Amino acid sequence: MAQYFMIHPDNPQIRLIREAVRILREGGVIAYPTDSCYALGCMLGDKDALERLLAIRGLGLKQRMMTLVCHDLSELANYARVDNRQFRLLKSATPGSYTFILQASREVPRRTLHPKRATIGLRVPEHKVAQALLEELGEPILSCTLMLPGDAEPLSDPQEIRERLEHAVEAVLDGGWCGVEPTTVIDMTDGVELVRAGKGPLAPFGL
């Protein structure tokens, strides 16, 4: 049965953050709020937790759309190959509701990459609960949007998340309602290409 933590969205209780991080480190999958939608998350290097996360989403290995959620831009740069121009663009838009598709570095396990392109989605959220988790954990959280098979949009009600995932995840972090609009996705592997318009404004990228 999932643990349920009611966390203040602006002043997250450190005791609850530490407990959520302990659950992650012990192989758990958690549901947590971000600045776009609720997300499912697990440790980057935990193969079993990743397989469980994909099963919850109803995704196969060839359908995986994983994102590394990072604490800041310097951490992001450890997991992607970023040149000076890309770095300037990233700096102008982070933290924020964006997912950037970039060439992955050797720090990223192959099982988490796009199966054909060796790319990974990376983002730096502007949400205090997510930021507190990342700061305490000291490394990125491997994540995807919390949208269940058959649903038309992501789950946004923490109580509903608890009811539907009570036996599928180890913890639900209730940070209140955080919306259903996903991140803006921008592919930066070869120039700047809009993949999906979402919550993040397009102006910083001239799109």
Question: Once rounded to an integer, what is the mean pLDDT over residues 114-141?
Answer: 91
Q: How confident is the model at residue 207 (pLDDT cuts 50, 70, 90)?
A: confident
Residue 4 in 3-state DSSP? strand
Average pLDDT across the chain, whole number:
91
Q: How confident is the model at residue 179 (pLDDT cuts 50, 70, 90)?
A: confident
* Strand-pair category, 171-174 with 141-145: unpaired
The CATH superfamily of 3-205 is DHBP synthase (3.90.870.10)
152 burial type by CB count under 10 A (0-12 exposed, 13-18 middle, 19+ buried)? exposed
Domain ranges of the chain: 3-205
Could you tell me the maximum CA-CA distance found in the chain, to the nearest angstrom?
47
Residue 184 has pLDDT above 90, yes or no: yes
Query: What pLDDT is stored for residue 146 in this prediction?
Result: 95
Question: Once rounded to an integer, what is the mean pLDDT over residues 130-150?
Answer: 95
Over the stretch 72-103, which tens digit does the pLDDT of each residue have?
998 988 888 899 999 999 999 999 999 999 98
Residue 132 has pLDDT above 60, yes or no: yes
- C-alpha span between 104 and 80 (Å, rounded): 4
Q: How confident is the model at residue 111 (pLDDT cuts 50, 70, 90)?
A: low
Residue 127 structure tokens: 């949400």
Residue 7 structure tokens: 């966390």
- Give the containing element (helix H, strand E) for 24: helix 14-25
Query: What pLDDT is stored for residue 39 in this prediction?
Result: 96
Percent of the chain with pLDDT over 90: 77
Residue 31 has pLDDT above 90, yes or no: yes
Residue 110 has pLDDT above 90, yes or no: no
Q: How confident is the model at residue 8 (pLDDT cuts 50, 70, 90)?
A: very high
Over the stretch 34-84, which tens digit does the pLDDT of each residue have?
999 999 999 998 999 999 999 999 876 555 568 999 999 989 888 888 999
Tokens 């038309």 locate to: 152
Query: What pLDDT is stored for residue 105 in this prediction?
Result: 84
